[in-house]
Amino acid sequence: MKALQHFAHGNPAEVVKLIDLPDPEPAADEVVIDLEASAVHLADIKLFRGDEGFKHDDLPRQPGYEGVGRISAVGTDVTDFKIGDRVFPWWGTGTFAQKICTKAETTMHAPDGDANQLALMMVNGMTSVCLLEDFADLKEGDWILQNGANSSCGRYLIVLAKERGIKTCNVVRRESLFDDLYALGADACVVDPGTPDELAAAVKDATGGAELRLGLDLVAGDATTRIGRCLASGGKVVNYGFISGEPCTMPFHDMFFNNITLTGMSTGRGLAKRDMTEIKQIYDMLAEKISSGELKAAIAGTYSLDQYTDAFAHAVRDGEDRKGKVILRPND
């Protein structure tokens, strides 16, 4: 079989190579999965580059956080799966390969539907749920504010919040995105004018003066300040990305006079708060919604394994230039 191998830190095109490996054989408690689709995340690129907080010491290694595929072999003790079943492997099982061998215990059944969409469920889907559930006691009729609203997580958040009766005010960089977000169920959309007070005024107008106490920040840098300025006294900004590449900024007077707090979000910490029964229930819910098309991410492009350098180059583009998520199709 063919697989990608990450062997050093640096330019992804130079520190990853395509290699041939023997087909894996499952141990008694394992399954072999033939990957249909594997999502490429910015976290993968950061791992390849060895960015701060993402550097691995255990190189060489097989990269890939998530994907979806079908079982091609089962261990002798496995009773929950059979050959041909469609499944999700657990996080970080090295899905940039034609086949992977993984524990049956953490493997989950996958429904019918678009493999490219389902390949995004484990990371982006769970991230959206944790953002909605873990940082505020949100009730029907409450508002949340988010930037990066056209991202996969942002689009999932709009749909999941709408289902719970939670209203979303969505900050984007261009008005042409409004129609798509309103079609998903967005309650308000505003263009980021680039200054905190202007954004606060635009959000106040768009929400009818609603008190917003939770702001979700995917961008970081000065965008964190702009989100915080829109919140009511005691509001919380949750940062879960840094598209800008800059550290989060939060002025002293916003924290001191308006009691705005800033906290970071990790989906791994969100998973740690939940037992496996709850996690699987959430993933079953997300899988059903993705399968039906209720949750849908923009797909920027699909690439075979031997096109990995093109896939990585596409994945590092700016969001508006990238236009969605990049997917590897290992067996195409």
Contacts of 283 (CB under 8 A, 6+ apart): 88, 108, 121, 122, 125, 126
Q: Identify the CATH number of the domain defined by range 126-268.
A: 3.40.50.720
On whether the CB atoms of residues 155 and 182 are closer than 8 A, the answer is no
Nearest in space to 135 (alpha carbons), one of 7, 307, 266:
266
Q: What is the pLDDT of residues 92-137, one digit of tens each?
A: 999 999 999 999 999 999 999 999 999 999 999 999 999 999 999 9
Nearest in space to 294 (alpha carbons), one of 161, 196, 199, 184:
184
State both tokens at 20: 């041939």
Nearest in space to 132 (alpha carbons), one of 6, 11, 282:
282
Report the distance separating Cα 7 and Cα 10, nearest Å: 10
Number of residues assigned to the chain: 332
Q: What is the pLDDT of residues 39-48, one digit of tens each?
A: 999 999 999 9
Contacts of 73 (CB under 8 A, 6+ apart): 24, 25, 26, 31, 32, 83
Report the distance separating Cα 186 and Cα 178, nearest Å: 9
Query: What are the φ and ψ backbone dihedral angles of 316, each rounded to 5 degrees?
Result: -90, -5
Residues forming beta bridges with residue 262, ordered by sequence position = 237
Biggest CA pair distance of the chain: 63
Confidence of residue 323 (pLDDT cuts 50, 70, 90): confident
Distances (CA, A) of 255 to 115, 238, 252, 260, 309: 44, 14, 5, 5, 44
pTM: 0.94
What number of other Cβ atoms are within 10 A of residue 269's Cβ?
A: 11
- Burial class (CB within 10 angstroms; exposed 0-12, middle 13-18, buried 19+) of 235: buried
Report the distance separating Cα 128 and Cα 308, nearest Å: 27
Q: What percent of the chain has pLDDT over 70?
A: 99
Section 278-298 average pLDDT: 97
The yes-or-no answer to whether 2-120+297-329 and 126-268 have a common fold is: no
Report the distance separating Cα 169 and Cα 142, nearest Å: 11
Section 214-234 average pLDDT: 98
Q: Identify the CATH number of the domain defined by range 2-120+297-329.
A: 3.90.180.10
State both tokens at 245: 């590449």
Q: Give the DSSP H/E element, type plus range, for residue 170.
A: strand 167-172
Residue 321 clears pLDDT 80, i.e. is over it: no
Distances (CA, A) of 17 to 2, 11, 20, 168, 307: 10, 12, 10, 42, 11
Confidence of residue 9 (pLDDT cuts 50, 70, 90): very high
Would you kindly state where each structural domain of the chain is located, as residue ranges? Answer: 2-120+297-329, 126-268
Q: What is the pLDDT of residues 135-161, one digit of tens each?
A: 999 999 999 999 999 999 999 999 999
Section 59-78 average pLDDT: 97
Distances (CA, A) of 332 to 35, 88, 306: 10, 18, 10
Report the distance separating Cα 95 and Cα 115, nearest Å: 14
* DSSP per-residue letters across 183-202: HHT-SEEEE--SSHHHHHHH
Section 255-265 average pLDDT: 96
Section 166-178 average pLDDT: 96
Give the pLDDT of residue 53. Answer: 82
Q: Give the DSSP H/E element, type plus range, for residue 239.
A: strand 236-239
